[in-house]
Amino acid sequence: MAEDRIDELQSSLRALRRQLDQLDRRQQASASGLRQAVLAATVAGAMLVLTATTWRTAPGDGASVGDLGSLWGMTSDGWQPVAALVLVVATALGSLAVFLGEAGRVGHVVLVVLALLTALAILLVGGVEPDGWYESEDYESAAGRWLTLLAALGLAALHGGRASELRR
């Protein structure tokens, strides 16, 4: 009789412990998701702003404003800057939508691929030789380009981390 009560009490305590552990895991996942969403929104916003910063400069002392080029200004130079701009905007807005919405694992995996394609496009946009500009070897890449590349890789890592968390 007493042993039956002890067994019932132990099974009740085990069930309660499982529920508490499950609740704790949900709370940690929620806090982690919120931190990742805030970080991703910040990086995505920075990525959009960086498209308007200087991506290339002409060599030499005292470069004038006409010798500077943003990604927006480079779009008239060919298809590569246009593709890079479209990918940067799509990655940034997609990241905002996925992290601030109720997206599943597939959405994050798609954005990992999109962010990596964006990084590749940012690297390839340096090969553009616009009309009336120096040869591609003669100009220097500016910080805006490299910071945007870093932001794209950071978003790929954030989406990859979130996708792995959602897998569990």
Write out pLDDT tens, residues 139-153. Answer: 677 888 899 999 999
Half-sphere exposure of 75 (CA within 13 A, CB side): 12
Higher pLDDT, 167 or 111: 111
Structural domain includes residue 157: yes
Whether 134 shows a pLDDT value over 80: the answer reads no
Reduced to 3 states (helix: H, G, I; strand: E, B; else coil), residue 128 is coil
Structural domain includes residue 129: yes
How would you class 40 by CB atoms within 10 Å of its CB: exposed for 0-12, middle for 13-18, buried for 19 or more? buried
Write out pLDDT tens, residues 15-71. Answer: 888 988 888 888 877 788 888 889 999 999 999 999 988 888 776 655 554 556 788
Structural domain includes residue 53: yes
Q: What is the mean pLDDT of residues 154-159?
A: 95
Question: How many domains does the chain divide into?
Answer: 1
DSSP string for 90-103: HHHHHHHHHHHTT-
Structural domain includes residue 111: yes
One-letter identity of residue 62 = G
Range of the domain at 48: 36-167
